[in-house]
Chains A and B, each alone.
Chain A
Amino acid sequence: MGFFTDSSVCIGCKACEVACKEWNEVPDLKPAWSGNSYDNTLRLGANSWRHVAFVERVRQDDAAGVRWLMSSDVCKHCTRAACLEVCPTGAIFRSEFGTVVVQDDVCNGCGYCVVACPFGVIERREDDGRAFKCTLCYDRLKVGEQPACAKACPTASIQFGPVEELREAAQARLEQVRGQPGGEEARLYGADEGDGVGGFGAFFLLLDRPEVYGLPPRPEYRRRDVVTMWGAASVAAWLLVGGLAGALRWRR
């Protein structure tokens, strides 16, 4: 199961942010004005599992003035999830719904997932010490409910369902949006299994390039990179031993 977030119908109401906080008892953020349009949440983190981005953009040729892009961001529940693969305690697991969930009774706050996530999603909670992120409402899914954010979204910008079905719906929606004014640069982000993380369980329809929304253009996590790195490290280890043996004038 996963999310399809269709940013073309997002009205920036932040109902998802609020519903998520309430249901999951996510601690509040220290209130502060960012000056970045209507966005004071700024980015995803341990205490913000949904984040609505507000982009103000003026294009050179745009007679209409400011173009407003809004999109509700969330953990991507990657098919190849870096956070899960690097977690040394096994605290992060793939659930029966295909989502990526942290077990907070196992996490020891080593912080590795924080630097491993290609989207900067997961974060260590400062006062708590453990890592937190969206669980795709694991507890609600288990009783057959849909996630709080999807339920609260008044425009169906956040859709929840089996990823395969969502992808088909997204493709159809993309074709529709492309034909409309302002939809020239529309694209699906994370709907392709061939991308760097094997596709997202939570993917998006964006109206501009991903980095405009604070998303990495081409996120990547591949297991074979770890293999080649260990290869390099083995050669380097042998060089170290060779250097020591040479220095000690060691001969058989």
Chain B
Amino acid sequence: MAAVERREEPAERPLVPRERPRSYYGLPIVRRPAWTWEVPLYFFTGGTAGALAAVSILARWSGQHRMGRSARRMALAGALVSPALLISDLGRPARFLNMLRVLRPTSPMSLGSWTLAGFGTALGMAEAADLAGLPVAVTGTMEGAAGILGPILANYTAVLLGDTANPTWRGGRHLLPFVFSGSSLAAAGGALCLAGPGEGRAASRRMVVVGTALEQAAFLAMESQLGPLAEPYRTGRGGRLAQAHRRASWAGALLVLAGRRSPLLQRLGGALALGSSALLRQAVYRAGFQAADDPAYLVESQES
């Protein structure tokens, strides 16, 4: 038990402040997330895997088979890690199957769970069909299914955050999907720059550059739309993460461009692009804590 020390107040200063109270003892109104580190990491692994699955089917259709297969295998790795992260975040991990107990259209998490389940199944079947030497059409169909679910997986997490009471997440709800889409695009390019086949180098570089441009533009637009609610992206931990993200992002794009003739620079750029995408999710996640903890954000956003 903590004892409370009451210091002598000067006579002219009232014990109770006279200004217009904006909150109840400065206590938060909405709650900060109960989630743990796995969640923002999943936003990244799921988003990257989603974009890579789309690469896999597009590359197949355009005859870049080695590229397609490499993208698919990386996507599969992401599709295996992602549910593990999500399950370990649950308060009751043994009940993870309850996620598929109902399909609730009003819950982005419900739709997302079904998407992730379908996505992983399709990718697993594509890989199995490929290994078993089944007709190309089977592999292609499964890849196609994953390729359709992938882009949803890449940004439904933005809808999930937007559909909360958190003022900063909610305020950015229509632009955050574009930020996440761009970031996933850059991350897929980054992964392919880092470990993809030589034939896809040029395409991977373009992905990083286009993705970075989209993500940065969308982020700026979101910040200006948020106005004062963008403060958690500028101060504290959220601000530091956002800045680290921005730097890694631009550095990745520049290195990848500079790496046209140097595979080493290209790999480095790819790694930075991947890292920046992970940092972005961390920044958004952490900004949400700051936005929830200070009731002024909520009160001001609801007063006007």
Q: Do A and B come from one complex?
A: yes
**A residues touching B (Cβ–Cβ < 8 Å)?**
31-36, 39, 42-43, 53, 55-60, 66, 82, 85-91, 106-112, 114-120, 122-125, 128-131, 211-221, 223, 225-226, 228-230, 232-233, 235-241, 243-251
- Tell me, yes or no, whether B252 is within 8 Å of chain A by CB: no
Apart from the given pairs A107-B91, A117-B165, A211-B29, 16 other A-B contacts in the complex at a CB distance below 8 Å: A32-B2, A43-B27, A89-B95, A115-B30, A115-B166, A229-B173, A229-B174, A230-B159, A233-B156, A233-B177, A237-B154, A240-B181, A243-B185, A244-B51, A244-B207, A248-B58
- Tell me, yes or no, whether B295 is within 8 Å of chain A by CB: yes
**Interface pairs (5), CB distance under 8 Å:** A90-B102, A214-B25, A214-B295, A230-B159, A236-B178
Is the CB–CB distance between A244 and B90 below 8 Å? no
Q: Classify the interface of chain B: helix, strand, loop or mixed.
A: helix
Residue of A nearest to B178 (CB): A236
> Which chain B residues (286-302) contact chain A, with CB distance < 8 Å?
288, 292, 295, 298-299, 302
Is the CB–CB distance between A53 and B24 below 8 Å? yes
Is the CB–CB distance between A214 and B23 below 8 Å? yes
Is the CB–CB distance between A112 and B107 below 8 Å? yes
Is the CB–CB distance between A35 and B4 below 8 Å? yes
B170: shortest Cβ distance to chain A, in Å? Answer: 8
Residue of A nearest to B95 (CB): A108
**B residues touching A (Cβ–Cβ < 8 Å)?**
1-4, 14, 16-18, 21-25, 27-35, 51, 54-55, 58-59, 61-62, 64, 67, 89-93, 95-96, 98-99, 101-102, 104, 106-110, 113, 151-152, 154-156, 158-160, 162-166, 169, 173-175, 177-178, 180-182, 184-185, 188-189, 200, 203-204, 206-207, 210-211, 214, 288, 292, 295, 298-299, 302-303
| Interfacial chain B residues near A217, Cβ < 8 Å | 299, 302-303
Which of A86, A118, A241 contacts B108, CB < 8 Å? Answer: A86
Which of A214, A246, A248 contacts B55, CB < 8 Å? Answer: A248
Q: A100 vs B243: C-alpha distance in the bound complex, in angstroms?
A: 41
B51: shortest Cβ distance to chain A, in Å? Answer: 6
| Interfacial chain A residues near B64, Cβ < 8 Å | 248
Is the CB–CB distance between B16 and A56 below 8 Å? yes
Is the CB–CB distance between B302 and A55 below 8 Å? no
Residue of A nearest to B51 (CB): A240
| Interfacial chain B residues near A88, Cβ < 8 Å | 99, 102, 104, 107, 109-110, 113
Is the CB–CB distance between B98 and A106 below 8 Å? yes
Is the CB–CB distance between A109 and B16 below 8 Å? no
Is the CB–CB distance between A243 and B211 below 8 Å? yes
Is the CB–CB distance between A240 and B54 below 8 Å? yes
| Interfacial chain B residues near A241, Cβ < 8 Å | 54, 58, 151
| Interfacial chain B residues near A109, Cβ < 8 Å | 90-92, 95
Is the CB–CB distance between A111 and B91 below 8 Å? yes
| Interfacial chain B residues near A130, Cβ < 8 Å | 91-92
Closest 7 A/B residue pairs (Cβ): A109-B91, A129-B91, A214-B24, A108-B95, A247-B206, A237-B151, A88-B110
Q: A120 vs B28: C-alpha distance in the bound complex, in angstroms?
A: 8
A240: shortest Cβ distance to chain B, in Å? Answer: 4
Q: A236 vs B102: C-alpha distance in the bound complex, in angstroms?
A: 27
Q: A214 vs B2: C-alpha distance in the bound complex, in angstroms?
A: 24
B192: shortest Cβ distance to chain A, in Å? Answer: 10
Residue of B nearest to A237 (CB): B151
Q: A111 vs B34: C-alpha distance in the bound complex, in angstroms?
A: 6
Q: A77 vs B264: C-alpha distance in the bound complex, in angstroms?
A: 58
Q: A223 vs B107: C-alpha distance in the bound complex, in angstroms?
A: 10
Is the CB–CB distance between B30 and A244 below 8 Å? no
B65: shortest Cβ distance to chain A, in Å? Answer: 12
Which of B24, B101, B106, B207 contacts A86, CB < 8 Å? Answer: B106
Which of A33, A85, A229, A248 contacts B3, CB < 8 Å? Answer: A33
A174: shortest Cβ distance to chain B, in Å? Answer: 22
